[in-house]
Amino acid sequence: MKFEKVQSFLGHSSSVYTLDSDANYIYSGSADCFVTRWEIASGKQDKFAIKFEFAVYSLRLINQQQQLLVGLASGDLHIFDLITRKELKFYQQHKEAIFCIQYNEKLNQFYAADAVGNVSVWDAVSFDLLGYFPLDCGKIRRIAVDSSGEKLALACQDGTIRVIDALTFSELHKIDAHNDGVGSVVFSPTDATILYSGGKDALLKKWNIQSKQLLITIPAHNYMIYELQFIGELLLSASRDKTIKCWDANNLSIQQRLDFKSKGHKHSVNALVSLSTDWFVSCSDDRQVISWKIKV
């Protein structure tokens, strides 16, 4: 069983940096300053679109996918209601680009992280600011939440992974992980002690965070790994080297490579989002959003 390209979603006029999806739509954010919505079934651009003054670096759907969080290059954070199509809140807590927004459904919280290592914690119901933490770790590209919702892992530019208690926001572990910076982190969906990381050093690593033990390390790409995502039982990685790779999560053996020869991306692959256990979407500096599905 291999992934094959289903379709391209074309319409952005600049690099596409971030994605999220619900049952019917894909949301994409771009350097063209637009958030755009696409119909999954038809591949067509929906009439819903939001124009900003700055590039869109991060998106996240929350609260049964009824609200949309948008983080901008300016540090602005916008919250939209998708039912009424109105903006609910606008915050300028961050003064630098928001590279990551993550949702913790178990605790009804969301987190925003910026280009200089600040993390904000928000109540996902009231939208009140619960905490603001300057971690002095450089750019935070990704935040992962474990299956219990009790731990966070932060991918930091200083090469560390910070493992945080989501209940107290105290630091549990600080792992020296990758030379020149961590690009992405993701927890195993079945074992909250297992974490995967990808770095600017192009290495893919598997960790036991309880013991801080490095279990496996492999040279996975030619350039920085920007995204790690589970699709069913497979671990996917996306890189600046224009490729997406599919891995066996147990031993990190490669299962498939998706690149230009697979009718894939021509430039850096920036983000991935799962549509189902056999279907995902990618985005790139080549302005494309591409959907991929396993063909049996």
pTM of the model: 0.97
Q: Domains of the chain, with CATH numbers?
A: 142-153+162-219 (2.40.10)
pLDDT band at residue 296 under the 50/70/90 scheme = confident
Quick: pLDDT tens for 176-185: 999 999 999 9
Quick: pLDDT tens for 59-69: 999 999 999 99
pLDDT band at residue 295 under the 50/70/90 scheme = confident
Which of 45, 59, 46, 43 minimizes the C-alpha distance to 5? 43
Asked if 258 and 240 count as a contact pair (C-beta separation under 8 A), the reply is no
Asked if 257 and 243 count as a contact pair (C-beta separation under 8 A), the reply is yes
Quick: pLDDT tens for 89-135: 999 999 999 999 999 999 999 999 999 999 999 999 999 999 999 99
Rounded (10°) CA dihedral 83, 150, 19, 291: -110
Measured from the Cβ of residue 276, the count of other Cβ atoms closer than 10 Å reads 12
